[in-house]
């Protein structure tokens, strides 16, 4: 039986980290502003692939963005694809303001 990943935000390294049995199993790197979080890269150690580590990272990070009232810029293909497959998170996607002429 595989352990459930524990996800933590590590602001000092600007990434969410997934640990399984005390070992780093994956991470999702980000840049955060008060209004938005941009996900740049997600990586799961090959030993932990197929065990839900990436999904756990995405879900926790996006849930926290929602709690903080932040929009999400998914520059990372994994996070972008995850949002596409989970429509309940699509409302978080960053939408640039259209330019308004005076």
- For residue 98, pLDDT over 80 is answered with no
pLDDT at position 2 = 64
SS3 category, 79 = helix
SS3 category, 25 = strand
pLDDT digits (tens, 9 = 90+) for 60-82: 999 999 999 999 999 999 999 99
Catalogue all structural domains in the chain, each as residue range(s) with its CATH number.
6-89 (3.40.630.30)
pLDDT digits (tens, 9 = 90+) for 21-68: 999 999 999 999 999 999 999 999 999 999 999 999 999 999 999 999
Task: Supply the pTM of this predicted model.
Answer: 0.90
Helix axes 53-68, 77-85, angle to 10 degrees: 80
- For residue 100, pLDDT over 50 is answered with no
């Amino acid at each position: 039986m595989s352990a459930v990943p524990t996800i933590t935000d590590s602001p000092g390294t600007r990434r969410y980290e997934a640990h399984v049995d005390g070992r780093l199993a994956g991470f999702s790197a980000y840049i955060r502003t008060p209004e938005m979080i941009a996900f740049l890269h997600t990586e799961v150690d090959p030993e932990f692939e197929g065990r839900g580590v990436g999904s756990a990272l995405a879900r926790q990070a996006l849930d926290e963005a929602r709690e903080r009232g932040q929009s999400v810029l998914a520059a990372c293909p994994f996070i972008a694809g995850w949002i596409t497959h989970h429509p309940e998170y699509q409302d978080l996607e960053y939408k640039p303001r259209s330019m308004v002429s005076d």
